[in-house]
Amino acid sequence: MDAQPAILSLGVLAAFALAFGGALLIVRRRDRKRGVLMVAAALVLLVNVLLWAWPMPAQAAPPLPADVRNFLARRADCAHWRGEDPYDRARARRIAQGASHACAHANADFRRLRLRYRGNWRVLKAIERPAE
């Protein structure tokens, strides 16, 4: 279980309690110095919570090699053509041509790329992911 949301929630609750308590001390003129310190602590705590919760930008991964990008594009085209509905003869012929062009040598290309990039986990993950 991830404890970060609980910790952030507790931090926000503590900041509100500090701010409320500090404001009461300031308004009732009991201990103005402690009230100001409590409000300042609440602000510092809220800033810390915001910094912890702020999403960090992901590091951009370098692009995949050109032969891998071409393979992925052909595989996506192949999946597209295989999913088409042949509602008449002309459409069936067009689908068969598109599928034969896009799907030609797909298995051989897949094996070649797996062998060529066997140490590159990013490329292997990309080519082993099912076509969408």
Q: Is the pLDDT of residue 8 over 90?
A: no
Given a cut of 90, whether residue 38 has pLDDT beyond it is: yes
Task: Confirm if 120 and 65 have CB atoms less than 8 A apart.
Answer: no
What is the distance, to the nearest Å, from the Cα of residue 38 to the centroid of all Cα atoms in its chain? Answer: 38
What phi and psi, each to the nearest 5 degrees, are found at residue 70?
-65, -40
pLDDT value at residue 132: 62
Question: What does the mean pLDDT of the chain come to?
Answer: 87
Amino acid type, 130: P
Instruction: Kindly state the average pLDDT of the residues 50-55.
Output: 85
Give the pLDDT confidence of 60-98 residue by residue, as tens digits. 778 889 999 999 998 888 888 888 888 889 988 988 888
Residue 131 confidence (pLDDT):
66
* Residue 41 confidence (pLDDT): 95
Q: Average pLDDT, stretch 13-40?
A: 92
